[in-house]
Amino acid sequence: MDIHFQKGWDIAQAHSVALLYEEAFGVKFSSAIPDRLKRVEIIAKSFVPEFSFAAINKNGVVGLAGFQVLSGSLTGGIGATQLINDLGFWKGTWACMIFSLFERKPSARELVMDGIAVNAEFRGQGIGSELLDHIIDYASENGFESVRLDVIDSNPRARKLYESKGFVVLKTEYFPYLQRLIGFSGSTTMVLPIKSCG
């Protein structure tokens, strides 16, 4: 497996990375921006690569793990102004409302995971696990006290990965009335306490 891992990636690859992100999370965001091409375009413009770790081979990014800290996040470029400019006032306002349902602000010494996406051709090779290890190591080396994430009820495989790394359940929320809107009916917040080495 000729793949290396690094923090950040070349912004020139934003469109192909947006397609990878869309493959993993498009269904989740489809109610906010129903047009797939427009969704990919907006995601590509929103990326701040320094808030992520990437798995890269000779053809480009094949895996991605984004994160959020007080200073920024992988998709930090998505905001009300951009959405309204790209979608118009009403559609942009609707998208803002939907995206607000997914918003999870970190505390001062907390890193929040923004999800892991791996190209379908490369799944089952441990790439997601290694990306998560890089996130955890980064948190430890930079003085964070915990890593927090949310895993949706329809993704037991991801939850199993997080549990294997030591994440524990903080709370579980159910919202069946939102399932048709956001594609899932519940999520579990998990946290990993970090022993800092920074």
The CATH number of the domain holding residue 98 is 3.40.630.30
- Is the model's pLDDT at 8 over the cut of 70? yes
Residues 87, 21: Cα–Cα separation, whole Å: 20
Considering the entire predicted model, what is its pTM?
Answer: 0.86
Kindly report, residue by residue over 122-159, the tens digit of the pLDDT. Answer: 999 999 999 999 999 999 999 999 999 988 766 678 88
**Across the strands, what pairs with 58?**
none
Residues 51, 59: Cα–Cα separation, whole Å: 21
Percent of the chain with pLDDT over 90: 55
Question: What are the tokens at 64?
Answer: 């991605």
Residues 174, 126: Cα–Cα separation, whole Å: 30
More confident residue, 135 or 186: 135
Kindly report, residue by residue over 33-69, the tens digit of the pLDDT. Answer: 899 999 999 999 999 999 999 999 999 999 999 999 9
Residues 37, 152: Cα–Cα separation, whole Å: 25
Tell me whether residue 33 is in a domain: yes
From first CA to last CA, the distance across the chain in angstroms is: 31
Q: What's the number of domains the chain is made of?
A: 1
Tell me whether residue 198 is in a domain: no
Instruction: Write down the pLDDT at residue 120.
Output: 92
Instruction: Write down the pLDDT at residue 70.
Output: 94
Kindly report, residue by residue over 72-110, the tens digit of the pLDDT. Answer: 999 987 788 888 888 889 988 888 877 776 677 898 899
| CA torsion through residues 74, 33, 29, 172, sign | positive
Instruction: Write down the pLDDT at residue 176.
Output: 57
- Is the model's pLDDT at 177 over the cut of 60? no
Residues 64, 53: Cα–Cα separation, whole Å: 6
Tell me whether residue 169 is in a domain: yes
The domain of 24 spans: 4-193
Question: What are the tokens at 116?
Answer: 């892991």
Instruction: Write down the pLDDT at residue 151.
Output: 82
- Please, are residues 73 and 41 in contact by the beta-carbon 8 Å criterion? no
Helix (H) or strand (E) holding 54: strand 52-57
- Please, are residues 78 and 107 in contact by the beta-carbon 8 Å criterion? no
What sections of 102-174 are H helices per DSSP? 127-141, 156-164
Nearest to 16 by CA among 50, 64, 51: 64
Tell me whether residue 58 is in a domain: yes
